[in-house]
Amino acid sequence: MRAKSSFKNWFNSGDPWIWLNAGAVSLSIIMVVGLVVLIMVRGLGHFWPSNVAAFDYIDDDGSVIALVGEFIDAEAVPRARLAVDDSRIPADIDIIDRRLVRIGNRDYTGFDYRWVLDAAVHNLSYPENIMAVERYEWGNFYGYLKAVKENGEVTDADPDWESFLRYIAESEKILGEIHHIEKNLIGAVNYEMERLRLRERGLALDNVAPGSPAYAEIETRRATLQEEYNGYTGRLTDLYEQLNRASFVAVLAGGQKAELPFSKVVRAYRPNAMGVTDKTVFYFEKLWEFVSGDPREANTEGGIFPAIFGTVLMVMIMAVLVTPFGVVAAVYLREYARQGPFTRLIRIAVNNLAGVPSVVYGVFGLGFFVYFLGGTIDELFFAESLPAPTFGTPGIMWASLTMALLTVPVVIVSTEEGLARVPRAIREGSMALGATKAETLWRTVLPMTASAMLTGLILAIARAAGEVAPLMLVGVVKLAPSMPLDGNFPFLHLDRKFMHLGFHIYDVGFQSPNVEAARPLVYATAFLLILIIIFLNLAAIKIRNSLREKYRAAEQN
């Protein structure tokens, strides 16, 4: 009876609920950390150079084929799931082991990956002279280096590996110069030519006579730009001739010969001959390419820098827009609005806005911001560009405004709570010293509420950086031809479309034609998105804590 009474007292004391909450929090932390670790291992492990195997494989029809590739995954499956040949698998085996092999050479075999049964693999080896070639198109190539050609003639029938890598380095140097001329130099000329065209059309809309000095100035500048353009195209012709001069011959696993131009090669390496140090250096090179490079091969190869840049820029513009709107609304509701049923109704509406599905904001942004507001701006300020829209089409400005509208309730609620925590005595003391209500608010109350404002901004950033549905309607694209920030005046182009990490994950994971190649990039991109959100939040938390320490003494008084 005494034990029952003590248990009842312990239960009524509330200690079980404390332990239950602590256990729930611990379990949640373990699950979150485990999920992040899983994403990190699956994503970052993709960049480690795996050894390339060569083996003979007994196919379904009993024929023996030679294969070369990387073992990517393995699984054990019930025999009932597979239509297998009894001659390859003993009849008494119910669970069959098989492995996923990345065989590459899609332009020769028709597919990148295939599953192989372990029991049908024979003569497995890892020759050191097998090379893996990353290409700009058609994915990886696996084979044996045979010869190097220049202008269609064999110049080296048995090239050594170092000389082969020098050819690739020379080709990469030429490609870099071509990219600089096409994207930067010719891109700047084309951009200015388009501005001249719009300026000329604007003169026509203003009924300016064709023989006026303004037209002459445009023609003079256009002739200068055309001369620059011709010079760049002439240089490009020479560079492409140099680039397409050299190629190499390689032998596939089955003995078939293939000739590949060096211009299509990103890098080549022999993983079986690489030590741990060489593989580590290669790993960080690939990781840097992933962070800093442009995507290729339907976003299943290359880097994701445009998506990183677009995500960060959109969040920064959104933060600049949402903070003033949210703070002004909160100040009005707390400091100026008469407290009554109407004000309470507004607060209820603000709280309910936080629960509206995000895609609804996207539809609103498309209808109001893009079609109505953007179309009106085009008619008033960009008539020379019509019917091609400038702001009457989805872009990063409308995406940032939509995200600001999506997250403004969070900033309002957080700022109102901060304003409510400021002691009334501080307001009264400030006004007793002769300050007006506006001066008290601006110089005393708002600085003490800065930590609460930044708390709302932190929550807004965390939500906006991960949203995808509304962005699909108001500006995000699979592949942006140019970034919103470049070297052309006015440098920040708010009308341009942009790439976003969240949409990139969706596109690669669900729209990619090559699922197996895309899967590790989905994990890597998701992990990078988590890191960016953490970094942005930590930066805001650091600023918030600094402001909190600064005004803590005032709050205590």
Q: How does residue 551 score in pLDDT terms, banded at 50, 70 and 90?
A: low
Written as six digits, the tokens of 71 are: 């073992």
Beta bridge partners of 57: 65, 121
Contact 349, 428 (CB under 8 A): no
Which residues, at least 6 apart from 207, have a Cβ–Cβ distance to it below 8 Å? Answer: none
Indicate whether 175 pLDDT > 90. yes
The residue with tokens 């991109």 is 525
Q: Can you tell me whether residue 494 is helix, strand or coil?
A: coil
Q: Can you tell me whether residue 269 is helix, strand or coil?
A: strand
Q: How does residue 11 score in pLDDT terms, banded at 50, 70 and 90?
A: low
Which residues, at least 6 apart from 117, have a Cβ–Cβ distance to it below 8 Å? Answer: 82, 84, 88, 89, 96, 97, 98
Written as six digits, the tokens of 474 are: 């108001």
Q: What pLDDT is recorded for position 109?
A: 84
For 243, counting Cβ atoms within 10 Å of its Cβ (0-12 exposed, 13-18 middle, 19+ buried), the class is buried
Which residues, at least 6 apart from 538, have a Cβ–Cβ distance to it below 8 Å? Answer: none
pTM, to two decimals: 0.87
- Mean pLDDT confidence for 125-146: 92
Q: What are phi and psi of 83, to 5 degrees?
A: -95, 90
Q: Sign (positive/negative) of CA torsion 377, 379, 384, 385? A: positive
Q: What pLDDT is recorded for position 344?
A: 85
- Mean pLDDT confidence for 368-375: 93
- Mean pLDDT confidence for 272-280: 93
Q: Please state the separation of Cα 554 from the chain's center in Å.
A: 43
Report the C-alpha gap between 388 and 292 in whole angstroms. Answer: 32
Written as six digits, the tokens of 293 are: 């490079």
Beta bridge partners of 55: 67
Instruction: Provide the 8-state DSSP code for 118.
Output: G
Between 539 and 376, the more confident residue is: 376
Instruction: Provide the 8-state DSSP code for 66.
Output: E
The kind and range of the H/E element at 22 are helix 15-44
Contact 479, 367 (CB under 8 A): no
Contact 464, 406 (CB under 8 A): yes
Q: How does residue 376 score in pLDDT terms, banded at 50, 70 and 90?
A: very high
Q: What pLDDT is recorded for position 542?
A: 80
Highest mean pLDDT: which range of 234-243, 442-451, 461-470: 234-243
Q: Would you call the peptide bond into 481 cis, given omega within 30 degrees of 0 as the criterion?
A: no
Model confidence over 198-215: pLDDT tens digits? Answer: 898 888 888 888 878 888
Contact 267, 168 (CB under 8 A): yes
Model confidence over 489-532: pLDDT tens digits? Answer: 888 888 999 999 989 998 888 887 777 888 888 899 999 988 88
Rg value, the chain, Cα: 32
Contact 77, 94 (CB under 8 A): no
Q: What pLDDT is recorded for position 16?
A: 75
Alpha helices in 245-369 (DSSP H): 276-292, 305-331, 341-353, 358-364
Q: What pLDDT is recorded for position 296?
A: 84
Written as six digits, the tokens of 472 are: 């699909």
Q: How does residue 544 score in pLDDT terms, banded at 50, 70 and 90?
A: confident
Q: How big is the CA angle at 309 (ends 306 and 313), to the nearest 5 degrees?
A: 140
Q: What pLDDT is recorded for position 3?
A: 58
Q: What are phi and psi of 107, to 5 degrees?
A: -75, -10
Beta bridge partners of 147: 249
Between 497 and 78, the more confident residue is: 497
Q: What pLDDT is recorded for position 546?
A: 77
Report the C-alpha gap between 467 and 500 in whole angstroms. Answer: 9
The kind and range of the H/E element at 96 are strand 95-102
Contact 396, 310 (CB under 8 A): yes
Which residues, at least 6 apart from 502, have a Cβ–Cβ distance to it below 8 Å? Answer: 311, 465, 466, 467, 468, 471, 529
For 481, counting Cβ atoms within 10 Å of its Cβ (0-12 exposed, 13-18 middle, 19+ buried), the class is exposed
CA-nearest of 236, 260, 266 to 246 is 260
Contact 554, 451 (CB under 8 A): no
Beta bridge partners of 101: 71, 114
Q: Which of 57-66, 380-389, 502-511, 547-556 has the lowest mean pLDDT?
A: 547-556
For 153, counting Cβ atoms within 10 Å of its Cβ (0-12 exposed, 13-18 middle, 19+ buried), the class is exposed
What is the SS3 assignment for 306-332? HHHHHHHHHHHHHHHHHHHHHHHHHHH
Q: What pLDDT is recorded for position 352?
A: 83
Q: What pLDDT is recorded for position 229?
A: 94
Indicate whether 87 pLDDT > 70. no
Instruction: Provide the 8-state DSSP code for 367.
Output: I
Q: How does residue 102 score in pLDDT terms, banded at 50, 70 and 90?
A: very high
Contact 347, 333 (CB under 8 A): yes
Q: How does residue 433 score in pLDDT terms, banded at 50, 70 and 90?
A: confident
CA-nearest of 105, 120, 123, 96 to 69 is 105
CB atoms under 10 Å from CB of 344, counted, come to 11
Indicate whether 555 pLDDT > 60. no
Contact 326, 417 (CB under 8 A): no
Q: What pLDDT is recorded for position 423?
A: 83
Report the C-alpha gap between 354 and 453 in whole angstroms. Answer: 17
Q: What pLDDT is recorded for position 2?
A: 58
Contact 103, 69 (CB under 8 A): yes
Q: How big is the CA angle at 416 (ends 413 and 421), to the nearest 5 degrees?
A: 130
CA-nearest of 171, 163, 170, 103 to 136 is 171
- The amino acid present at 39, given as its one-letter code, is I
Q: Which of 64-73, 308-317, 514-523 has the lowest mean pLDDT?
A: 514-523
